[in-house]
Structure 1
Amino acid sequence: MKTIVLGGGVIGVATAFYLRQQGCEVTVIEREPDVALATSFGNAGVIAPGYVTPWAAPGMPTKILKYLFKPASPLIFRPTLDPAQWRWIARWLRECDLERFRVNKQRMQRIAYYSRDCLHEFRSRHPFDYGRSQGYLQLFRSEYDVELAQPALAVLRDAGIAYREVNPAQCVDIEPGLRWARATPVSGIHLPDDEAGDCARFTRELRAICERHGVQFRFDTRVTSIDVHGGAVRGVRVESEAGGRPDGANGANGATGAAEIVQADSVVVALGVDSAALLAPLGVKVPLYPVKGYSATLPVIDDEKAPRAALMDESLKTAITRFGNNLRVAGTAELGNRQTTLREQALQTLMKVLDDWFPHAAAPTSAHFWVGRRPMTPDGAPLLGPSGIDNLWLNLGHGSTGWAMSMGSARVVADLITQRKPEIDLDGLTLARYGK
């Protein structure tokens, strides 16, 4: 079966891997010159299935208002005239109900835990270094934030997920570098089974494995439309970008900007936020909106005063993750326009969090900043599987937890395409949930 995967982020490349494993002839089409150069590039790197959480949570609208005019804020709201933004917000507000939150969180955890199992199985067969660390520590600055976390903790307890509530001294025992912190947490939560790793580095290594097994990658290639006839997919229309070859190799081959139709038996859309515009002309409506996230990457200058693994400042919703000799500080949820513009307010929040917890770990002047567009659904769970058009499949809408859900989502979609029964229940993880 000839299958095209649209998108070269971790979701798309993982999907290509599992499709090839199951005997498909696979081509990945990506507009960038390499994999993991968009949303997968600068994320926090945390794989914390026990604490994947919908952005739509009880108390979140109030928290947005609380932080709206503060200089250091985990949330930035910039209203636009885009009707899609307001439709998305209306749906999101409905999902902030406590019972909806519990349902959505359980759905997200189901795919995230399955994904971690898939990652562990993959790693046992393909061991390579991608800056992996073990354990995840959440830090609370105030009792108010501890109170907001209670619904999420209840879900953890109900699911039997291993975690430990810790006091400030125990936080330092887990992360000794906190001895030099300028702030003091009121408490923390430690999830020993969660982990972290460099998503972009992993995706590049995964690409190499895919290529060794026969997956083709076409870089510098933009998808203009999906070719559908008689209610079924026939292929995709593409244009090669200026300066790049359709097959992603070096040199010149054919006219730059040439358009063509690439035929396929099935197509997987894994283009993140850009998926919505591509699917809309086909009548496939996916409620995605870009909630932008920011990160800073810095080299460690004092190992003793740096973190060992991954932490989350729960109050400012900012993660600090150790990748070998580098630190990644990532956070902020900006609901605004669709442009990837670095905002000074968000960057200042990142650097404040680093300075509060690990002031001597890295030099602020060495920070490399990044912003990416997270493809978020109003309820938080991804959209996996059938689109309503024969042989057109979805693997999108993972928001800020795409890395945590990538391998499991890819395995599920590959199973569906090759007519195998997925290993987990897909209730609430498909487009069907929006048709009810």
Structure 2
Amino acid sequence: MRILIVGAGIVGTATAHELARDGHEVVVLEQQAAAAEQASFASAGLLAPALLIPWAVPGVNGRLARRLMGSRATMRLMQGAGLAGLAWLWRWLRAGHQAQAAERLAALAALGRDSLQRTQAIAAMLDTDIEASRGTLVLLRQHSDRQLLEPAMQVLDAAGAPLREVDAETARLIEPGLAADVPLAGALHAPEGASGNCRLFAQLLRQAAQERGARFVFNTRVQALVPGSGKGQTGQATGVQLAGRTEPVRADALVLCAGQASAALLRPLGVRVPLMPVHGYSVTAPVRDDLHAPQGSLIDPQHRITISRQGQRVRVSGGAELGYAGGRHDDATLRTLYLALSGWFPGGALLSSPQVQVWRGARPTLADGAPIIGAGPARGLWLNIGHGASGWAQACGSARAVADLIAGRTPQVDLAPLALSRF
């Protein structure tokens, strides 16, 4: 089959890789000049446990309402959020209490587990270093922090991936660089937790897909989706209308992986999905002293911050801004990230180095925290969108599931809770 993919972030490149491996003729259309230039550029890096990634799922990490206002708010409503942003936020707040929440969490846990296995298998197959680290610690400043994680812990336990509770002394044995003078009641340890360099992996996937015949067309903007019509020889294939072209480009199938642009592209087809850009930050710095730097990945659930080791660099990520703020950075959020890294791992990173990278990017997030994976609203159209903060953690599993659907196979993960029909 000839298949078009719109979007070359980590989800789009993973989808291209899987479809090319299946023997399809793949063309990827991307408006940026390279792969993984937007949400995938400097993501937190955490692969697992996916359910514990901050801002991944409504209802996990405690109540959100008390975290919206004030100088220490973990989510900030930007001036450009408007009524659409407030409506999305209301749906997000309610999603954690819906009857379908438990089913959705179970589906996300299964997708995260399948995706981690697929990511590790591909990395081994490519025989490459993606700056991966193993093991994840969830730091508990006080014993009550554990209650914030109870919904995710129950699902992970049912899925056969329970978190091990450890005391502060054991936590510091697992991560020797943790500051001795920072209050720590204990931690939750996920030995199978993992992190890695998302952008590096996306570039490797692009190269591997190209070696199998996939074509990546950059600096190309898709203006509209052109649904197919009819059946068999008499019908028209699905396609896209490109900027600067008079005739649509058609193919046997089309996979939409276009991040935030997906909502606007679906609207003319009569589909409105509650997709909103939730901006987050990351600060990446060179390792100063290996003994004082993190060895794996860590989560601070109270401040919704992650710290991950990526080769000879350390990345701290956090913050959530709902709406559009242009390129302006929030000083308070960045100060929190710097203080978190230097506070938990004093002397571990060169925060004054000119090589320090500060990044702000949008995570296109659906109002219930889960992606849409499956058939779209038109013949030959497939959706792989809305992964939010879990794009890196879910990319390879989502890509394999879409490739199986296109081939007429049953995916390993039950996608019913992730279907478009829920909206």
TM > 0.5: yes
In the other structure, the counterpart of 2:364 is 375
Which amino acid in 2 is paired with 1:223? V
In the other structure, the counterpart of 2:71 is 70
In the other structure, the counterpart of 1:282 is 269
Distance 2:303 2:239 in 1: 44
Equivalent position SS for 1:424:
coil
Distance 1:272 1:310 in 2: 26
In the other structure, the counterpart of 1:12 is 12
Is the alpha carbon distance of 1:409 and 1:224 closer, same or farther for their aligned partners in structure 2, counting shifts above 3 Å? Answer: same
Distance 2:378 2:18 in 1: 22
Q: Deviations over 1:307-351 (max 9, x none)?
A: 111111111111111111111111112213263532212211111
Tell me, which stretches of 5 or more residues in structure 1 are unaligned? 240-256
Q: CA deviation at 1:3?
A: 0.6
Is the alpha carbon distance of 1:228 and 1:156 closer, same or farther for their aligned partners in structure 2, counting shifts above 3 Å? Answer: closer
Equivalent position SS for 1:60:
coil
Q: Deviations over 1:82-135 (max 9, x none)?
A: 332122122212212175543332121111111122223323322201101111
Structure 1's consecutive aligned runs of 4 or more residues displaced over 4 angstroms after TM superposition are 257-260
* Residues 33-432 of structure 1 aligned to structure 2 (within 5 Å): 33-49=33-49, 51-52=51-52, 54-57=56-59, 59-65=62-68, 68-71=69-72, 73-78=73-78, 80=80, 82-97=82-97, 100-178=100-178, 180=179, 182-230=181-229, 234-239=238-243, 261-337=248-324, 339-366=326-353, 367-432=356-421
Is the alpha carbon distance of 1:238 and 1:198 closer, same or farther for their aligned partners in structure 2, counting shifts above 3 Å? Answer: same
Distance 1:195 1:111 in 2: 15
TM-score (norm 2): 0.92
Does the 8 Å CA contact 2:49/2:193 hold for their aligned counterparts? yes
Distance 1:158 1:312 in 2: 21
Equivalent position SS for 2:274:
coil
Equivalent position SS for 2:121:
helix
Is the alpha carbon distance of 1:224 and 1:338 closer, same or farther for their aligned partners in structure 2, counting shifts above 3 Å? Answer: farther
Equivalent position SS for 1:428:
helix
Distance 1:332 1:190 in 2: 23
Is the alpha carbon distance of 1:423 and 1:159 closer, same or farther for their aligned partners in structure 2, counting shifts above 3 Å? Answer: closer
Is the alpha carbon distance of 1:258 and 1:338 closer, same or farther for their aligned partners in structure 2, counting shifts above 3 Å? Answer: farther
Distance 2:49 2:421 in 1: 24
Percentage of pairs with the same residue: 38
Structure 1, 135-144 or 330-339: larger mean CA deviation: 330-339
Distance 1:187 1:41 in 2: 33
Does the 8 Å CA contact 1:385/1:395 hold for their aligned counterparts? yes
Q: Deviations over 1:414-434 (max 9, x none)?
A: 111122221221120111222
Q: CA deviation at 1:229?
A: 4.7
Q: Deviations over 1:204-231 (max 9, x none)?
A: 1111111111000001111111122537
How many residue pairs align between the two structures? 413
Equivalent position SS for 1:97:
coil
Distance 1:352 1:80 in 2: 28
Distance 1:394 1:262 in 2: 18
Does the 8 Å CA contact 1:74/1:333 hold for their aligned counterparts? yes
Equivalent position SS for 1:224:
strand
Distance 1:270 1:338 in 2: 23
TM-score (norm 1): 0.90
Is the alpha carbon distance of 1:208 and 1:50 closer, same or farther for their aligned partners in structure 2, counting shifts above 3 Å? Answer: closer
Q: Deviations over 1:172-225 (max 9, x none)?
A: 0000011x3552221211100111100000111111111111000001111111
In the other structure, the counterpart of 1:25 is 25
Equivalent position SS for 2:320:
strand
Equivalent position SS for 1:353:
helix
Structure 1, 338-347 or 112-121: larger mean CA deviation: 338-347
Q: Deviations over 1:154-184 (max 9, x none)?
A: 2222333132111111110000011x35522
Does the 8 Å CA contact 2:225/2:239 hold for their aligned counterparts? yes
Does the 8 Å CA contact 2:78/2:325 hold for their aligned counterparts? no
Q: CA deviation at 1:79?
A: 5.3
Tell me, which stretches of 5 or more residues in structure 2 are unaligned? 231-235
